[in-house]
Amino acid sequence: MTADASEDAPTFTQGERAAMRRAVSLARRGLGTVAPNPVVGAVILDREGRPAGDGWHRQAGGPHAEIHALRAAGPLAAGGTAVVTLEPCSRQGRTGPCTRALLDAGIRRVVYAVADPTLAGQGAAVLRRAGVEVRSGLLAEQAAEVNHAWLAAAVTKRPHVTLKLAATLDGRIAARDGSSRWITGPAARRDTHLLRDRTDAIAVGSTTVLADDPQLTARDTAGRPRPRQPVRVVFDRRLRTPADARLASDGAAPTWILTTRTAGEERHGTAELITADPGERFLTASLHALYDRGIRSLLVEGGATLAGALLGEALVDRIIWYSAARLLGPDGAPAVRGLDIPTCAAAPNFRIIAARRLGDDLRTVLEPETARGK
């Protein structure tokens, strides 16, 4: 049984299982558009257990998934069941509490997949006190995976950090002469843009800006319409980013430069300067600043020094490694620099949670072995 499943080992109908699969699929549509809120999908079943309406949370400040689903179901919701990927909220925010909306609609049973760590069980408790039957844990693993970044950020109070690496079999990201296009093939590059499309912010270090002048926008996303671009973030302690760099001048997406600079302008080109708290380590302070500004998922794309620093401070929650079936030799640029690991016993261990082939490349998803126990 999952940790958030009801203690009395609830049973679920086939209709509820099908509805939760649908709700998980709907929740994915909110990835990259709802921060600082979680992605949520909901399906309403009528009193006979038949689908009556569904919906998902589309943007922060807008109606939650349950509200969209209830509106679609209309009067058919009375006496029915709400199937939701996340425990319904019970507090007043920019929108009203979903528990109140479910009660007003006459819902008699609520099935949710994963508990909301910010509610401490209050959403389920409100519904139970009103006489609603509440069960949890249905397809919890699938629902948690869709919402893994938000769930982690809700506990750590910093963005969930995914480190994206694209390297050769011997861990190189560029040849001796500095050339790096293209390490991986077109399928892996398309997948990278899908990752960008589904994250709140994309980050690089200042060295990457100086060397590559990247654009860091979500493109080539299979025609998926995008209401906004992810925020572009530069970790730049010494403010080395040129004001005419593409990130700081093209206006294609919001850009934030995290720095220790304490005096001068608040803007750098079109980019906004954010001064990290000098009382904390730079990377930790920077991540806290991003969290305070609503960032819950952060995709770090380079470079090697930033990757090594984040790994060295145990600030990486997930690695997505695109491995190209080629070699560049010992003089090539490494994917990670600066890690001080004196012995095999001291090496951090990762576990593979997914792997698949993308054209001629291998995409592997890894998490620190301690990630699930934090």
Q: Are 281 and 313 in contact (CB under 8 A)?
A: yes
| Distance (Å, whole) CA 6 – CA 3 | 9
| Contact by Cβ (8 Å): 51, 144 | no
The catalytic residue among 16, 48, 66, 133 is: 66
Lookup: tokens for 257: 């430069």
334-352 b/e with 16+ CB inside 10 Å = b?
bbbeeeeeeeeeeeeebee
Alpha-carbon separation of residue 50 from 108, 174, 215, 313 (angstroms): 14, 56, 47, 50
Residues 40 and 85 sit within 8 Å (Cβ to Cβ): yes
Give CA–CA dist 180/172, Å, rounded. 9
10 contacts: CB under 8 Å, gap ≥ 6: 135, 136, 137, 138
DSSP state for residue 263 in the 8-state scheme? S
Q: How far apart are CA 211 and CA 279, in angstroms?
A: 30
Residue with tokens 């190189």: 172
Sign, CA dihedral 235-240-243-245, equals negative
**Cα(222)–Cα(277) distance, integer angstroms:** 40
User: How many other CB atoms are there within 10 angstroms of residue 38's CB atom?
Assistant: 25
Dihedral of the CA atoms 62, 21, 295, 268 (nearest 10)?
Answer: -90
301 given a catalytic annotation: no
| Amino acid identity at 204 | V
Q: What angle do CA 325, 334, 206 make, to 5 degrees?
A: 125
Task: Cite the active site residues.
Answer: 66
